[in-house]
């Protein structure tokens, strides 16, 4: 592990105050789903809320979530680094995730992924120079009958062609 980039907030006190207030408000809503003594169960939703508000799950966000859920920062880090939909580093304004699993590849998924890589000038998990798009190769999206598929900011796009995928990604601001 390299030394953490000091641009990365390490402590919740470094996070914007209004963001933290918003985090607490949204978390309170989520906590209603769990028995009162099982607050730690809300770790995935808490980190997801943090990611939406602060852009990614930094160390500070992990500590904030752990503090609010009455559990250890290690627990937050374990979750933040295990699940692929939780970003541990800054990402582009949009996230494009292309499935290249078997059913998608049988209908051209890899071709789409390779084309988008070239168009955006990035490798897998890379962000375009203008900060617009982060591109990822992902596993099966559960759209095999309507393959090939991709997610754009968690929205499903199915029955794609190279042209259609390029148009969708090109239209992102």
Partner 1 sequence: MSETLILTKRWGKKDSATLASYRADGGYEALAKALATSPAEIVEEVKRSNLRGRGGAGFATGLKWTFLPKDVRPRYLCVNADESEPGTFKDRYIIEHDPHMMLEGIAITCFALDIHLAYIYIRGEFRRQAEILEKAIAEASAAGILGAKLGGKAGFELQVHVHRGAGAYICGEESALMESLEGKKGYPRIKPPFPAVVGLWGKPTIINNVETIANIPWIVQNGGAAFAALGTGKSGGTRLFGVSGHVKRPGIYEKPVHYNLKRLIMEDCGGTASGRPIKAVIPGGSSSPVLRGDEIDVSLEFDAIKAAGSMSGSGGVIVMDDSVCVVRVLARIAKFYAEESCGQCTPCREGTSWMEGIVEKIEHGHAAAGDVDKLEQVANSIAGMTICALGDAAAMPVQSFVRKFKADFLAHVEARGCPVGERGWGVLQESREAVVGGIRY
Q: Is residue 44 involved in binding partner 1 (CB under 8 A)? A: yes
Q: Is residue 27 involved in binding partner 1 (CB under 8 A)? A: no
Give least dist CB 141 to partner 1, A.
Answer: 6
Q: Is residue 132 involved in binding partner 1 (CB under 8 A)? A: no
Q: Is residue 88 involved in binding partner 1 (CB under 8 A)? A: no
Q: Is residue 68 involved in binding partner 1 (CB under 8 A)? A: no
Binding marks (x or -) toward partner 1, 133..162, rule CB under 8 A?
-----xxxxxxxxxx---x--xxx------
Cα angle at 95 between 93 and 64, to 5 degrees? 75
Sheet with 133-138, strands from edge to edge, namely 133-138, 94-99, 150-152, 155-157
d(CA 109, CA 32): 40
Q: Is residue 41 involved in binding partner 1 (CB under 8 A)? A: yes
**Is residue 52 within 8 Å of residue 71, measured between CB atoms?**
no
Give least dist CB 112 to partner 1, A.
Answer: 9
**Is residue 15 within 8 Å of residue 57, measured between CB atoms?**
no
């Amino acid at each position: 592990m390299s030394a953490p980039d000091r641009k990365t907030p390490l402590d919740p006190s470094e996070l914007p105050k209004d963001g933290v207030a918003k985090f607490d408000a949204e978390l309170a809503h989520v906590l209603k789903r769990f028995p009162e003594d099982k607050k730690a169960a809300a770790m995935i939703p808490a980190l997801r809320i943090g990611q939406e508000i602060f852009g990614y799950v930094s160390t500070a966000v992990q500590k904030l979530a752990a503090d609010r859920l009455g559990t250890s920062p290690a627990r937050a880090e374990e979750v933040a680094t295990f699940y692929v939909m939780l970003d541990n580093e800054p990402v582009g304004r949009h996230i494009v995730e292309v499935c290249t699993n078997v059913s998608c590849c049988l209908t051209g998924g890899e071709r789409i992924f390779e084309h988008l890589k070239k168009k955006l000038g990035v490798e897998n998990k890379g962000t375009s120079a203008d900060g617009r798009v982060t591109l990822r190769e992902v596993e099966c999206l559960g759209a095999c009958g309507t393959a090939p598929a991709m997610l754009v900011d968690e929205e499903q796009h199915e029955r794609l062609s190279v042209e259609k995928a390029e148009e969708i990604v090109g239209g992102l601001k």
